[in-house]
């Protein structure tokens, strides 16, 4: 590394700067636009930054309801369900020998990649329709949970596998009941893993667009991702002051939650943790 | 294969697995089987065929693979071709290439530049999809967008990107959006390579490119294949570009995910939509089987 010529060094530095610019330039609008009282599509530093755009969002009951009620219901519901179901399943996969569990893992990997995206929404919509889950938050929560569960189980299983089983063995040898061993010995140990999976599920359900778009009907039940599209003028152009401030408010919780994960656990890499 | 002793009985284990099994059965296995059945019917949402769909045989598939018209704009063949270009350009070249470049650029380096670039790449990945779509809508705007402002400053004019180069635009957009996964994968893979390998090559006088080509690349190849298959699978199914272009103009960005959405949820032709979904799912299945076979071979090798 030290043998590199100054010219090559400068070239690599320039390349890194260019890559950084490619990633940062499209984001700038998200920061400058909300503070600009006359928001346009250009990135301009506001000469007089104001919070008027945010005030407009808070005056819009529909938008606030979408963000603070519907998004929290959907995100929170998916978070709790994914965390509970994935914890139980991964603990079982790691610590017990159930016949057929290898097959289950294989089916999980295979079908979670096969039954995904828009293609999966065709049968899932009709399933929800026949179960009476259309236009219900619980329908969105269940479908989101079904989609997130396979990845959540893999993340959690790796996590549980990495914890030495001697703690639980010792507890059982000392005469603790299996129930006590699970609650008082195993659970505290896997709690960080549960937290990561819970946050990951929340963030995914919070940002979901396609599932609520397909499954929900009435505007007052829509989450923020769809509420954006009500901020259009009659001419069909977006109301940029409202859109930009709303985008800001909608993104902040996601960033904060990732910061928490990063700060508590470091941004560790989990295979397949995308959707 | 080592067998670790079980902590709990198989009965408790089965009980713990039950909720997950129920979800998998209801939201993964059942839809997969049902969509195949649906694809042979003329199911709609309203009208007579909503309650009592009729069996129509292969009619839905014949319509999809009607070779006289299927390459016309807005037809299935054309949509598949657009998707293949999109996957090649934005996933295999864009995301994997850029991810590898960034991981290699900062290999065995620390410092602010690495932190800043890595953070920006990850940010592009975690911001909600609707928000990044608006950000790119502003970025690519013809008259006020940042990108054209830069081009204009260099005297390169102001093209209307989303209108005149829509496919290129969503490819660049998707590269920007998804590079993080490949970058993180390659970064963690590079960290597992013992530094002594590189140091030996340096003593032997290898150039930067030689070190990459003859030492890092052979060690990374397994990870690269894994990455390529996974991002192909995801990019093939991605719906986010719809938020930027809506599949237009004139169906030029109509990815198969968008084609499915429009058929099933805008025209409510579920039988037809199901036939498309079946074709997509079998392409997914092929990719996933290849992935699993490679995974198994890698495990057997270690």
DSSP letter (8 states) at residue A229: G
Report the residue of B131, B259, B289 to disrupt the A interface, i.e. the one with the largest count of A CBs within 10 Å: B131
| Residue A83: per-residue pLDDT | 96
Is the preceding peptide bond at B78 cis, omega within 30 degrees of 0? no
| Cα of A252 to nearest chain B Cα, Å | 9
CB B116 within 8 A of CB B200: no
Give residue A266's pLDDT: 63
* pLDDT tens, position by position, A219-251: 899 999 999 988 887 777 888 888 999 999 999
The count of other CB atoms within 10 Å of the CB of residue A18 is 9
pLDDT for residue A31 is more than 70:
yes
Q: What is the mean pLDDT of each run of 10 residues along chain B (302 residues)?
A: 64 89 90 92 78 84 87 90 95 94 89 91 94 95 92 92 94 96 91 84 84 86 87 92 90 94 90 92 90 81 70
Shortest CA gap A183–chain B (Å): 13
Model confidence at A270: pLDDT above 50: no
Nearest CA in chain B to A43: B146
Q: How many contacts (CB atoms, under 8 Å) link A and B?
A: 290
Give the pLDDT of residue A3. Answer: 60
Tell me if chain A has a CB within 8 Å of the CB of B165: no
Give the pLDDT of residue A272. 38
In a domain, B2, yes or no: no
Contact predicate B50/B38, CB 8 Å:
no
Report the distance separating Cα B253 and Cα B79, nearest Å: 8
Using CB atoms and an 8 Å cut-off, which of residues 44-83 of chain A contact chain B? none
B146 touches chain A (CB under 8 A): yes
Task: Give the range of the structural domain holding residue B185, as residue numbers without chain letter.
Answer: 71-268
More confident residue, B123 or A177: B123
C-alpha span between A249 and A259 (Å, rounded): 16
Supply φ then ψ for residue A232, to 5 degrees: -115, 145
Which residues of A are less than 8 Å from B185 in CB distance?
269, 271
pLDDT at B1: 38
When divided into structural domains, chain B yields a total of 1
CATH classification of the domain holding B247: 1.10.3720.10
Closest in A3, A251, A258 to B131, CB measured: A251
Position B156 in a domain = yes
For residue B103, give the nearest of B5, B187, B225 by alpha carbon. Answer: B187
Residue range A139-171, pLDDT digits in tens: 999 999 999 999 899 888 888 888 888 888 888
Look up the CATH number of domain A66-164+190-265.
1.10.3720.10
Sort out which chain A residues have CB atoms less than 8 A from B117's CB and list them: 16, 19-20, 23
Q: What is the DSSP letter of B3?
A: -
Please compute the mean of the pLDDT values over residues A81-109 and round it to a whole number.
88
The residue-averaged pLDDT of A117-122 equals 89
Tell me, yes or no, if B117 comes closer than 8 A to chain A by beta carbon.
Answer: yes
Chain B: residue whose CA lies nearest to A40: B144
Domain limits, chain A: 66-164+190-265
Determine contact, residues B187/B103, Cβ cutoff 8 Å: yes
């Amino acid at each position: 590394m030290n043998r590199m010529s100054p010219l090559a060094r400068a070239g690599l530095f320039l390349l890194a700067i260019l890559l950084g610019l490619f990633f940062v330039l499209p984001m700038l609008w998200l920061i400058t636009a909300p503070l600009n009282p006359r928001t346009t599509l250009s990135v301009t530093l506001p000469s007089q930054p104001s919070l008027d755009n945010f005030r407009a969002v808070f005056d819009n009951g529909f938008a606030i309801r979408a963000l603070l009620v519907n998004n929290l219901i959907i995100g929170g519901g998916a978070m709790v369900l994914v965390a509970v179901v994935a914890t139980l399943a991964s603990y079982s996969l790691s610590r017990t020998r159930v016949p057929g569990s290898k097959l289950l893992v294989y089916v999980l990997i295979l079908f979670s990649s096969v039954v995904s995206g828009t293609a999966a929404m065709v049968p899932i919509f009709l399933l929800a329709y026949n179960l009476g889950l259309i236009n219900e938050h619980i329908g969105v929560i269940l479908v989101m949970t079904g989609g997130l569960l396979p990845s959540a189980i893999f993340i959690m299983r790796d996590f549980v596998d990495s914890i030495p089983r001697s703690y639980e063995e010792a507890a059982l040898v000392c005469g603790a009941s299996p129930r006590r061993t699970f609650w008082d010995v195993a659970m505290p140990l896997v709690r960080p893993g549960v937290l990561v999976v819970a946050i990951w599920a929340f963030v995914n359900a919070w940002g979901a667009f396609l599932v609520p778009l397909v499954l929900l009907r009435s505007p007052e039940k829509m989450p923020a991702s769809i509420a954006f599209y009500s901020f259009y003028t009659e001419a069909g152009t977006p109301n940029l002051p409202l859109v930009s401030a709303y985008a800001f408010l909608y993104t902040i919780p996601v960033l904060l939650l990732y910061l928490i994960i990063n700060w508590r656990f470091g941004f560790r890499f989990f295979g397949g943790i995308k959707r | 294969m080592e067998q670790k002793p079980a902590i709990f009985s198989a009965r408790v284990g089965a009980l713990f697995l039950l909720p997950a099994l129920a979800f998998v059965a209801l939201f993964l296995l059942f839809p997969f089987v049902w969509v195949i059945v649906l694809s042979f019917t003329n199911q709609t949402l309203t009208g007579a065929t909503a309650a009592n769909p009729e069996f129509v045989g292969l009619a839905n598939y014949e319509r999809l693979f009607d070779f006289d018209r299927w390459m016309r704009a807005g037809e299935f063949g054309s949509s598949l071709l657009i998707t293949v270009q999109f996957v090649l350009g934005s996933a295999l070249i864009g995301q994997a290439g850029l991810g590898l470049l960034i991981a290699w650029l900062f290999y065995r380096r620390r410092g602010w530049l690495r932190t800043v670039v890595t953070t920006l790449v990850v940010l592009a990945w975690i911001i909600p999809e609707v928000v990044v779509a608006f950000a790119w809508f502003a970025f690519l705007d013809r008259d006020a967008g940042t990108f054209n402002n830069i081009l204009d400053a260099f005297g390169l004019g102001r093209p209307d990107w989303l209108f005149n180069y829509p496919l290129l635009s969503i490819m660049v957009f998707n590269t920007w959006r998804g590079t993080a996964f490949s970058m993180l994968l390659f970064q963690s893979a590079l960290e597992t390579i013992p530094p002594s390998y590189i140091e030996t090559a340096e003593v032997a006088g290898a150039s930067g490119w030689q070190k990459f080509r003859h030492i890092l690349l052979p060690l990374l190849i397994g990870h690269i294949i894994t990455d390529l298959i996974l991002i192909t699978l995801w990019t093939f199914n991605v719906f986010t570009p719809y938020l930027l272009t809506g599949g237009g103009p004139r169906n030029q960005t109509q990815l198969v995910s968008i084609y499915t959405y429009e058929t099933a949820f805008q025209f409510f032709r579920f039988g037809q939509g199901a036939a498309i979904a079946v074709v997509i799912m079998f392409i997914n299945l092929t990719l996933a089987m290849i992935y699993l076979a490679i995974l198994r071979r890698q495990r057997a090798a270690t």
